[in-house]
Structure 1
Amino acid sequence: MRPLPSPALLVLLVLLAISARLQAQVSAADRPNIVWIMSEDNSKHYLRLFDPAGAATPQIEKLAQSGVVFDRAFSNAPVCSVARTTLITSCYGPRIGTQFHRRSKLAAMPEGLQMFPAYLRAAGYYTTNNSKKDYNAIEGAEVWDASSGKASWRNRPSDETPFFHVQTFGMSHESSLHFGAAKMQSEATQHDPDAVQLAPYFPDTPTFRYTHARYLDRMQTIDTSVGQLIAKLEADGVLEDTFVFYFGDHGGVLPRSKGYVYESGLHVPLVVRIPKNFKSLSAFAAGSRTAGFVEFVDFGPTVLSLAGVEVPEGVDGKPFLGKSITAAEVNARDETLGYADRFDEKYDFVRSLRVGPFKYIRNYEAFQPDGLQNNYRYRMLAYQDWRTRYHAGELNDMQSQFFRSKPVEALYDIENDPHETRNLAADPQHRETLLRLRGRLQQRMKAMPDLSLFPESELVQQAMDNPVAFGQQQQPRISRLLDTVDACLLPAPQAVDTLRTALDSTDPLQRMWALVACSSMGTDAAALAEIAKRLHTDDPHRLTRVRAAQFLAILGRLDPAPTIYRELASTNSEVEALEILNVAVFCRDALPSPQTIDADRLRFSFKVSPKSEVQRRVEYLQR
């Protein structure tokens, strides 16, 4: 039998235990908690705190009284999975292969890099997510201690453990506006539909007014939930140790917002409550506002900075709060990048760059209208109402633009034209600004490099196991491809000469992008039609053949249907089939002389899943 410890030794052991506990408490007190509260699908325009026409949100406004309002906060992408992947990786989607919504294949994380909560866990934080993820990259097992509808900071191993908690509220999701016509008659809104302020590009109809009023109601529901979560933090005695971020997970959600790089799709509300016990980590006083630009790639590094965790190399963002961050430096930030690629079954390729008050948008497939069919989007009565009135000839030019071809490039003065309706790209007074922003975007896309210069079908086959390494290897080629598709920005005679050379390239993607540029130019590139006729039958690259047929259809010189039937039947790639079907829907719906696409003649060499994007396109073409 072992001898009992002496009274002196017992006292020493107790003192050591108390000392260790006190040291743990001091260590915890040195590290704040961080909570993210996200509301789905809402731009800043629906909150009175950011826009006079928005809803009153007293709980979020109360957060602002104890924190800082970021008047220029931006998602980098206007749709859930791409935006959320940008948040969790702190990397631009087109650089790491996560730019498509819904992903066809998960992208591997960049070598040596983890999703940022993993670094918090390694530093002793308890990390929880409740509960939406929607990532386009492989997550890894180290990211969350808990991720479910029951995940909470309250489940951490001890009160001394610092925590990072993410809470998503879905009451403002796009689906909240998927109601039938009967509901407009039977369910009144709290906000008066006659009093809402519609965007000038919308038709002023009862459907749009009711939809807008209903969404303002949803924002007040969000506000109530924010207040309830704050009350829990306060009840637990941790509110003054916790940075609370409230923000939208991207813009939305009335038509021409979610899925589009306009301010309505990218400009999000952001409020950060600064806890009294850690106010030294904020360069901003309680109740202040800043116009400095912050974007989603910055959010992860900011959390790491607040936690005292080193920001890893290889991310694209930089902190806007933390010990070494000054207000002057944040206030001086004035640039944000936006990207929109595939949204469900609808393909597009758009990049935006806002610098100060000016916004530059490059539409790489300008011939394709914003309003091209997306089945989920058109569940909303407002979308249906808008399109019906367009086809009935009831809209003015501004309201009709959504269903017409886009400008190849656009320049907007956001301060004087917040709804982005007056394109200044051809204005001689703004020529210098146009060239500066155009050049800056080209520089950034080449430096990434931007993987969307490769079709998604080829990325899935070649790149997704290591997209960053693939991009670095292909950087010179991507630069050439960008120069090729940007040839349509040149004066027409020079553009035709440049594209003629590109159409003779040994690189199939250079030929393909030259044809896309021709399609954007339309009749200005008609001199290249004979080359396109040869390529649409003889080119060895399937998507180049399809793009040649599309260009000829735009010129009115070819029925594209036989090419579409042939190429769909011969591909064994479901992703490539979806790319071809996008051309089919464009040719049926958006050409000046719409083409007949017989859904009964569509054949596939693979079994089409009933829930796939390909099936969505087939169902639409069958209507």
Structure 2
Amino acid sequence: MINLKFLQFKSLLVIGLVFFSFKKTNSQERPNIVWIVSEDNSKHYLKLFDEKYGVETPNIEALATDGVVFDHAFSNTPVCSAARSTLIASSYGPRLVTHYHRNLKQVPLPNGVEMFPAYLKRTGYYTTNNSKEDYNLFKADNVWDDSSKKATWRDRKKGQPFFHVFNIGTTHESRLHFTQDDVKVPTKANQASMAIFPVHPQTDLFRYTNARYHDKMQEMDGQLGEVVAQLKEDGLYENTIIFYYGDHGGVLPGSKGYIKETGVHVPLVVRIPEKYKNLSPVAAGTRTNAFVSFVDFGATVLNLAGVEIPKGIDGQPFLGKNISKKQLDKRDETFSYTNRMDEKYDMVRAVRKGKYKYVRNYEPFNFDGLMNNYRYKQLGYQQWIEMYKNNKLNAVQSQFFEPKAVEALYNVEEDPFETNNLAGKLEYKNTLKSLRCNLNKRIKSMPDLSFYPEFYLINNAFNNPVAYGQLHKKDISRYSKIANYALLDFDKVKSKLEKSLNSQDTWDRYWALIASSSFGAKAKELAPTIKNISNTDSELVNRVRAAEFLGLTGSANPVSVMTEALYTCKDGPQALLILNSIVLMQDCEKHYNFNINESKINKIVLDEPQVLRRLLYLNSK
């Protein structure tokens, strides 16, 4: 007699073995994925993307012949730690507070969300990073099988799919920290034929700097070629999807650290082997105008690997199963942000939709050329500002050192260097309004935590920034509204500003002060109220912001208020924000004279390295 229970067990066993075998085979057939990342270069330096300013990169161009060239890829933010945090978290920095460079204190990811390679690792991928991380997030142990200068896919188990990141530092900003003696060293690139960005002075030094960087770009291209050759040598080339991209824009003056196209518009080429062509809605050897951003890269890798995309991230895949060409063609927007570059603060947000880019300068008095020590190690920066001081620049080249408009609109197809602000022109009224609403909606729905100063977030929100943002969503919306008074006619918002300046809420007053400063001399009649704030406010930074207004408008000398606030401060990050205003007052058109006595500054404040950078500059004047 047949034992039915035995047959049922045998059937289940066979089914299980078949399922296991299918799963194993399917795992082996999943694509390997490699990211090759060059540091600090926008798309402008590759002839593949820019005929006028770019250099030939034969290895990247070879990938493009049977890959997809993305003509509109963006890093969201223009500096490495913030950009890499956006990549690894697949989420917008202002929501997570990962958008400062570099965070003065690391933050956790939202509950239930992990750095995206952890999901690959959990499903059987061998994950390696060679070798730069530079995240503003707490380091997790479940992300990489190896993250080091020796990390390689060759250490995985036989047949195991892998995700490998290879970083190339050859094009990093530091490679342009050369001396006057180095300028005598010849370059392979022809200096005489170098095309110089119109925002830069057309000098021999800038021609040399461009030529030197072209050489570095070609050196980087050779290093990329070596990685591709290793894949071919290991018989993996036809089983591996390869991404090449720049980790953000740069690197000549006015690009890295600024959300101009030269700061966030990056090169991206994705080579997809024939066997995986079903994972791309775009045919090999072609280009796409679809807008893709760093926030989407993690979701895209997971989708290519057949891994479920977690609900708690912001990114949306642009390759992989269930992505159609119609969907891809509809993608025409990107969102960009920046707040602090090392010791320099300036809150700027931007939305680009198609050819139009809307830029919101929340602190327009913080001109772009405000001292940023690491930037000014470049001789080009030093020459640029010296020529400005000596009135040797034209109007376009001078914009970098002058106060900005509160909002700007650019047609970046016609004006790629964002020099012609269309915001005040009647024919662009509807476009301006639409993109302004787009940005405000993003900020409020996120919500954007930068409406609190960084030092306050460190002390009150860094244990769980996302939860803090949700808890204070209404407050952030109100602060955003107060900040946007600066977009309206002063006479229409004067009474609203006065109300906010007298609010019991600290940050209502803070943003009312910033909005008032944005109006400049138009808001001078608020000086009595603001002078009172500079002397009596319970929050040190509000006293400083009030003094900043008085200084910018010439209503009162800000030196004593700001200096006393610095000496009183017992918090390093707060002192850093105070010092930003001090440097602005010293270097603005009115050139207030500060004499900082370092011995009067609290020792806790002096423990913050970025504070020391500001003091080094101030004491050198």
- Establish whether TM, by shorter chain, passes 0.5: yes
Q: Which residue of the partner structure matches residue 49 of structure 1?
A: 48
Is 1:336 matched with 2:334?
A: yes
Q: Distance in 2 between matches of 1:381 and 1:225?
A: 27
Q: CA deviation at 1:284?
A: 1.3
Map 1:244-263 onto structure 2 (within 5 A): 244-263=242-261
Q: Which residue of the partner structure matches residue 83 of structure 2?
A: 83
Q: CA deviation at 1:415?
A: 1.1
Question: Is the CA contact 2:100–2:339 (under 8 Å) kept in the aligned structure 1?
Answer: yes
Q: CA deviation at 1:25?
A: 6.1
Q: CA deviation at 1:19?
A: 9.3
What is the identity, as a one-letter code, of the residue corresponding to 1:145?
Answer: D
Deviation sequence 1:495-537 (CA, Å, 0-9, x none): 2222111111111111011010111110111111110010000
Q: Which residue of the partner structure matches residue 166 of structure 1?
A: 165
Q: CA deviation at 1:582?
A: 0.4
Question: Is the CA contact 1:565–1:602 (under 8 Å) kept in the aligned structure 2?
Answer: no
Q: Distance in 1 between matches of 2:199 and 2:118?
A: 44
What is the identity, as a one-letter code, of the residue corresponding to 1:622?
Answer: N
Of 189-198 and 66-75, more deviation after overlay is shown by 189-198
Distance 1:281 1:562, change over 3 A: same
Q: Structure 1: which 4+ aligned runs deviate by more than 6 Å?
A: 18-22
Map 1:407-446 onto structure 2 (within 5 A): 407-446=405-444
Question: Is the CA contact 2:572–2:606 (under 8 Å) kept in the aligned structure 1?
Answer: no
SS of structure 1 residue aligned to 2:289: strand
SS of structure 2 residue aligned to 1:347: strand
SS of structure 2 residue aligned to 1:200: coil
Q: Structure 1: where are the runs of 5+ without partners? A: 1-14
Is 1:145 matched with 2:149?
A: no
Question: Is the CA contact 2:67–2:271 (under 8 Å) kept in the aligned structure 1?
Answer: yes
What is the identity, as a one-letter code, of the residue corresponding to 1:164?
Answer: F
SS of structure 2 residue aligned to 1:314: coil
Map 1:90-489 onto structure 2 (within 5 A): 90-158=90-158, 160-185=159-184, 187-489=185-487
Deviation sequence 1:86-120 (CA, Å, 0-9, x none): 00000000001111101111011111100000000
Deviation sequence 1:539-562 (CA, Å, 0-9, x none): 111111110000000111222111
Q: Distance in 2 between matches of 1:572 and 1:140?
A: 31
Question: Is the CA contact 1:127–1:143 (under 8 Å) kept in the aligned structure 2?
Answer: yes
Question: Is the CA contact 1:568–1:602 (under 8 Å) kept in the aligned structure 2?
Answer: no
Q: Distance in 1 between matches of 2:29 and 2:229?
A: 23
Q: Structure 2: where are the runs of 5+ without partners? A: 1-13
Question: Is the CA contact 1:484–1:502 (under 8 Å) kept in the aligned structure 2?
Answer: yes
Deviation sequence 1:244-285 (CA, Å, 0-9, x none): 000000000001100001000000000000112211111111
Q: Which residue of the partner structure matches residue 600 of structure 2?
A: 603
SS of structure 1 residue aligned to 2:600: coil
Q: CA deviation at 1:20?
A: 11
What is the identity, as a one-letter code, of the residue corresponding to 2:100?
Answer: F
Q: Distance in 1 between matches of 2:554 and 2:223?
A: 55
Q: Distance in 2 between matches of 1:331 and 1:287?
A: 17
Is 1:510 matched with 2:500?
A: no
Q: Distance in 2 between matches of 1:75 and 1:284?
A: 21
Distance 1:26 1:583, change over 3 A: same
Question: Is the CA contact 2:572–2:608 (under 8 Å) kept in the aligned structure 1?
Answer: no
Q: Distance in 2 between matches of 1:601 and 1:40?
A: 36
Q: CA deviation at 1:611?
A: 7.2
Q: Which residue of the partner structure matches residue 34 of structure 2?
A: 35
Deviation sequence 1:594-623 (CA, Å, 0-9, x none): 001113367322245577000000000001
RMSD: 1.6
Q: Which residue of the partner structure matches residue 4 of structure 1?
A: none
Question: Is the CA contact 1:115–1:139 (under 8 Å) kept in the aligned structure 2?
Answer: no
SS of structure 2 residue aligned to 1:294: strand
SS of structure 1 residue aligned to 2:578: helix
What is the identity, as a one-letter code, of the residue corresponding to 1:434?
Answer: L
Q: CA deviation at 1:319?
A: 0.4
Q: Distance in 1 between matches of 2:608 and 2:245?
A: 31
Deviation sequence 1:348-396 (CA, Å, 0-9, x none): 1000100110000000000111000010000000000000000011111
What TM-score does the superposition give when structure 2 sets the normalisation length?
A: 0.96
Aligned length: 605
Q: Distance in 1 between matches of 2:49 and 2:396?
A: 25
Question: Is the CA contact 1:189–1:213 (under 8 Å) kept in the aligned structure 2?
Answer: yes
What TM-score does the superposition give when structure 1 sets the normalisation length?
A: 0.95
What is the identity, as a one-letter code, of the residue corresponding to 1:539?
Answer: D
Q: Which residue of the partner structure matches residue 3 of structure 1?
A: none
Q: CA deviation at 1:139?
A: 2.5
What is the identity, as a one-letter code, of the residue corresponding to 2:222?
Answer: T
SS of structure 1 residue aligned to 2:383: helix
Distance 1:523 1:602, change over 3 A: farther
Q: Which residue of the partner structure matches residue 553 of structure 2?
A: 555
Q: Distance in 2 between matches of 1:259 and 1:197?
A: 22
Q: CA deviation at 1:29?
A: 3.5
Deviation sequence 1:378-428 (CA, Å, 0-9, x none): 000000000000001111111111000011110000111111110001011
Q: Which of 528, 531, 540 pairs up with 2:529? A: 531
SS of structure 1 residue aligned to 2:340: coil
What is the identity, as a one-letter code, of the residue corresponding to 1:556?
Answer: G
Distance 1:20 1:305, change over 3 A: closer
SS of structure 2 residue aligned to 1:336: strand
Q: Which of 605, 610, 614 pairs up with 1:617? A: 614
Q: Distance in 1 between matches of 2:327 and 2:503?
A: 46
Question: Is the CA contact 1:283–1:326 (under 8 Å) kept in the aligned structure 2?
Answer: yes
SS of structure 1 residue aligned to 2:597: helix
Deviation sequence 1:178-230 (CA, Å, 0-9, x none): 00011111x11111112111111111111111001111111101110111100
Map 1:58-69 onto structure 2 (within 5 A): 58-69=58-69
SS of structure 2 residue aligned to 1:171: coil
Q: Distance in 2 between matches of 1:89 and 1:20?
A: 33
Q: Distance in 2 between matches of 1:467 and 1:21?
A: 41
Q: Distance in 2 between matches of 1:251 and 1:475?
A: 31
Question: Is the CA contact 1:489–1:495 (under 8 Å) kept in the aligned structure 2?
Answer: no
Identity of aligned residues (%): 49
Q: Distance in 2 between matches of 1:83 and 1:452?
A: 16
Q: Distance in 2 between matches of 1:198 and 1:331?
A: 33
Q: Distance in 1 between matches of 2:328 and 2:600?
A: 55
SS of structure 2 residue aligned to 1:289: strand
SS of structure 2 residue aligned to 1:269: strand
Question: Is the CA contact 1:565–1:603 (under 8 Å) kept in the aligned structure 2?
Answer: no
Q: Distance in 2 between matches of 1:284 and 1:231?
A: 25
Deviation sequence 1:20-69 (CA, Å, 0-9, x none): 99767622333100000000000000000000020100100000011100
Q: Distance in 2 between matches of 1:472 and 1:545?
A: 28
